[in-house]
Structure 1
Amino acid sequence: MRLSIESLLAAAALPALAFCAPSDVPAHLKGKRSTYTDNGVQRTVFEHEATGAKIDFVTNSGICETTPGVNQYSGYLSVGSNENMWFWFFEARNNASTAPLATWFNGGPGCSSMIGLFQENGPCHFVNGASTPSLNPYSFNEFANMLYVDQPIGVGFSYGTDPVTSTVTAAPYVWTLIQAFFAQFPQYESRDFGLFTESYGGHYGPEFASYFESQNAAIASGSVTGEKIDLVALGINNGWYDPIIQYKAYIDFSYNNTYKPLITKSQYTSYMNTYNSDCLPSLEQCTSTTGNNAACEDADNTCYNDIEGPISEGNFDVYDIREPSNDPYPPETYVTYLQTSSVVKAIGAKSTYTECPDAPYEKFANTGDDSRSFLSTLSGVVQSGIQVLIWAGDADWICNWFGGFNVANSIQYSGSSTFASKAVVNYTVSGVAGGQFKTVNNLSWLRVFGAGHEVPYYQPAVALQVFKQTLSKQPLSST
């Protein structure tokens, strides 16, 4: 049974510091706030009237972001009796009062966004496998207020009952979190909003963006009470968008990438024959029966067993083919750090950190979510006019740039034919080539040189420039 705030305060044996929002506050902002102390750490609780959600968080833990004057908040959004979604917010280091707001989601499905925070683009990182973090000068919060979310429930620090079984069912929970976040922190409302993600984010990104836009329309019509999310940008690196395109890309990339061949010519021919005879028909069956979980799960199993699984057993890291399979990179130092009792206490976490637990993944697997294409949804988001970036590190295999490039060329929007036929040119940062790109209207594509799956880890200067340009509603451009 869900505890009331009064119960929490009674348990903590502290007086309530609660207040209700005045009657003239808009309905979507109304709620009740209180504080309590847990394990020596003061926490704030906000109950959001419009959604029934509750936020329980710690202010300025001193962990990760140590830049003077830059605020941070970490804690939980509770959306039901036992559904607790972890978030960690960092103010922008520059112009926080006017900077845009961006969210970051890692993929999986079922992997924590603390991966992105600590290994890729957050305020701190672990240099050369250090045991403690240091400030990251290329953090995305150099430019934007950043919100990292562990979803679905059960991932990372999130805990409780996980009702999410697919990308589509995940979207409303994320929207609810952002609505409650706006109500607790109204100073970040009405900012330009960006959605950035990677890997399974090729599913998450299009669906979340589409859902946000549909909710905006419902709010405008009066059928939903809430705060409009001013979505201006969607960025997805090394995404898994469309299995029909991307399973074929496994074979093409394995034979003909710019680093080293992973399969022989005869293997290439054999895998391509198997793709056409087994994998492709099963994926087409999933596509033609969109409500049939069994057909989509069967397609996932067929294509994995015939193509993805056998190729990935080679002596290479699927996230960076330049590395051997027994040498995963980047290092996992941050996991030990996040499981340290002093860190857990300071940030207000109430569970043991797990990077990519099996249970949430299995729920997606059981609905065949992996085999479903989000290309049409992605096309709709591009058609809506927001700035969209599809990019990829060129040493990644699992969501390789061959597949991402073909997906980008297949997006349907007003600039489709021009985009598909346009040649790529060098993308530079201060005159140094960091990749190759092309852009038409509000869609940009970028291949990043010398980067594995987690692009901002490998090429942080390129990633920060790309992030700034996209969130500024600009097509990519060299500097």
Structure 2
Amino acid sequence: MISKRHDDSKNSTNIVSSNLCDNNVKQHSGYIEIAPGANIFFWFFESRNNPKGSPLTLWLNGGPGCSSLFGLFEELGPCKSNNNGSEITNNIYSWNEISNMLFVDQPVGVGLSYGSRVVNSTEQAAEDLYVFLQIFFAKFPEYATLDFHVFGESYGGHYAPAIAKKIVEANDLIQARTNKETKINLKTVGLGNGWVDAEIQLQSNVYFAEFNSYHPVLDVKYIQEMKNISFECKSKIEKSKSTEEFRKASIECDSIPQEIFDNHSYASVYDIRVSNTSYSSMPSADYVSFLNKPEVLRSIGAESFGNRTFVECSDKVFNYFSETGDGIRSYKPHVEYLLEKNIRVMLYHGDADYICNWFGGLDVTNQLVWKNQREFNAAPMQYWKVDDVIAGQIRKFGNLWFVKVYESGHAVPFHQAKNSLDLLKKWFNDN
């Protein structure tokens, strides 16, 4: 765990370059203070192949309140933690095979990020994340000119469109020379089992519970109960304007149907192929033990995390967002904005995930209002193969892709590591 420390008091950074996780690539990790009481943790890895010629991909896990280090260690990062955090193994299907990778714990209070700042909305989180990116690129200008991709998983269906829209808007101001920030070379946005539009996706939960690719996950009477709720909720969500209205709609339209599923279905909401008491098809928590070791925190520049305990997901941050009804707010308009600005967007969904299921993802793409809506909706679903084995289906036209990933739950890069890397390659090449 050899570390070389950088000092930059101007930007209030505390960053190290260690050889932990992947000792064959250059990496940087630590804190950037975006404002007093707001310390954002990040971990950056150069690409294993031609880093100067590879793009830079920002990865964001969801929650809200869940650490992007879950994505690093359990999904698509260069290494995995095993045996209760006692050992590290190489991930041959890491996304840094073809891309420089930036994992960020955001907002403040998530993962290793800490401080007194309270963030309770996606828009506020996007503002903070944009400040972080500006400081990051000022610190590491060699990465500022690379093609930039934003990928978000689960609640990242809110986070990713929000930060992408912020980047595009800021770039327009930079182009007009009304500010002096670094222009970020945003090319695409990827949403993995993303929570984009509650009104659309909550409706889809009812149909997925009965007509998914595997088996029904609720008895008919409970499906009917959820249908009744979803019918009433459609208008409630449409009429919500104030924070209080969004908060109430969140309870009635999201929390209550979720309770029905939790109380009356044996299946996991993240992977209906397994029971809700089974962890056989879900990522382990070994990396949590690993990240709570003082020597590990020191090696990645996180010693100032102090005596706090790293947890995978912060209940406190989740509750902050719940109190504003943030999850009910739609980010479909943000996706439409990005498409009109010629930013490519991909929604990909594991076919065994209930909570952000592929029915809902497909419905979101079909209802996007943009210049090629008609052509996209008329495009066929084409089989996607990896090594001559069908890995899923893809519908694409213009700047929009929808992907149904076979035999995968909520976390596609965990369930289908090889196939997710293949999909990323195809996405980068637009092929």
Q: 1:409 aligns with which of 357, 361, 366?
A: 366
Equivalent-residue separation in structure 1 for 2:344 and 2:427 (angstroms): 6
Output aligned runs, 1:342-353, within 5 Å.
Answer: 342-349=295-302, 350-351=304-305, 352-353=309-310
Name the structure 2 match of 1:300: 250
Deviations along 1:8-40, one digit per CA (max 9) or x if unpaired, are xxxxxxxxxxxxxxxxxxxxxxxxxxxxxxxx9
* Cα drift, residue 123 of structure 1: 0.3
Cα 1:448/1:130, change in 2 over 3 Å: farther
1:111 and 2:62 aligned: no
Question: How far is the alpha carbon of 1:129 from its aligned partner?
Answer: 7.2
The match for 2:293 is: 340
The DSSP-based 3-state class of the residue aligned with 2:193 is: strand
1:56 matched residue in structure 2:
14
Letter aligned with residue 161 of structure 2: P
Structure with larger Rg: 1
Distance of 2:9 and 2:98 partners within structure 1: 30
Q: Name the residue aligned to 2:407.
A: 450
TM-superposed deviation, 1:348:
1.5
The correspondence of residues 143-158 of structure 1 with structure 2, limited to 5 A, is: 143-158=98-113
Would the aligned equivalents of 2:81 and 2:290 in 1 still touch at CA under 8 Å?
no
Cα offset for 1:47? Answer: 4.2
Quick check: 2:384–2:390 contact (8 Å CA) kept in 1?
yes
Aligned residues: 424
Deviations 1:283-323, CA, capped at 9 Å, x for gaps: 1222xx1xx10000000000134312211332221111111
Aligned pairs (5 A) from 1:135-146: 135-146=90-101
Q: 2:7 corresponds to which residue?
A: 45
Q: Which moved more, 1:201-210 or 1:118-127?
A: 118-127
**Local SS of the residue matching 1:239:** coil
CA distance in 2, matches of 1:187, 1:101: 11
1:275, distance to aligned residue in structure 2 (A): 1.6
Q: Matches of 1:180 and 1:47 in 2, distance apart?
A: 12
Q: Which stretch of structure 1 is more off in the superposition, 260-269 or 117-126? A: 260-269
Contact residue 65 and residue 313 of structure 2 kept, 8 A: yes
**The residue matched to 1:161 in structure 2 has which SS?**
coil
Cα deviation per residue 1:334-364 (whole Å; 9 max; x = unaligned)? 1111111221121121223221111111111
Instruction: Report 1:152-301 matches (<5 A).
Output: 152-277=107-232, 279-286=233-240, 289=241, 292-301=242-251
Task: Read off the aligned partner of 1:353 and give its amino acid letter.
Answer: F
Any residues of structure 2 matched to 1:63-78 within 5 Å, and which? 63-67=20-24, 70-78=25-33
CA–CA distance in structure 2, aligned partners of residues 153 and 86 of structure 1: 9
SS for the counterpart of 1:165 is coil
Please say if residues 162 and 360 of structure 1, whose CA atoms lie closer than 8 Å, have aligned partners that are also in contact: no
Q: Which residue of 385, 391, 411 corresponds with 1:434?
A: 391
Given that 1:105 and 1:201 are in contact with CA atoms closer than 8 Å, whether structure 2 keeps it comes out as: yes
Aligned-pair CA distance for 1:46: 1.9
Q: Which residue of 1 aligns with 2:53?
A: 98
Asked if the contact 1:247/1:308 (under 8 Å) is kept, the reply is no
Structure 2 residue runs without a partner (length 5+): none
Q: Distance in 2 between matches of 1:90 and 1:306?
A: 41
Does 2:275 align with 1:318?
Answer: no
1:21 aligned partner? none
The answer (yes or no) to whether the contact 1:282–1:298 under 8 Å persists in 2 is no
> Match of 1:322, as an amino acid?
R
Cα distance in 2 between the residues matched to 1:130 and 1:306: 36
Q: Distance in 1 between matches of 2:377 and 2:183?
A: 33
Per the TM alignment, residue 130 of structure 1 is displaced from its structure 2 partner at its CA by 7.2
CA contact (8 A) 2:338 2:344 kept: no
Structure-2 residue corresponding to 1:360: 317
Unaligned runs of 5+ in 1: 1-39
AA partner of residue 195 (structure 2): W
Q: Is the 8 A contact 1:425 1:437 kept in 2?
A: yes
Q: Is 1:282–1:302's contact at 8 Å kept on the other side of the alignment?
A: no
Quote the offset at 1:54 in angstroms: 2.3
Aligned residue for 2:267, secondary structure, equals coil
Identical-pair percentage: 36
Kindly report which structure 2 residues correspond to 1:116-131, keeping only aligned pairs within 5 A, or say none: 116-126=71-81, 131=86
Q: Is the 8 A contact 1:232 1:471 kept in 2?
A: no
Larger relative contact order, structure 1 or 2 (CA cutoff 8 Å, min sep 6): 2
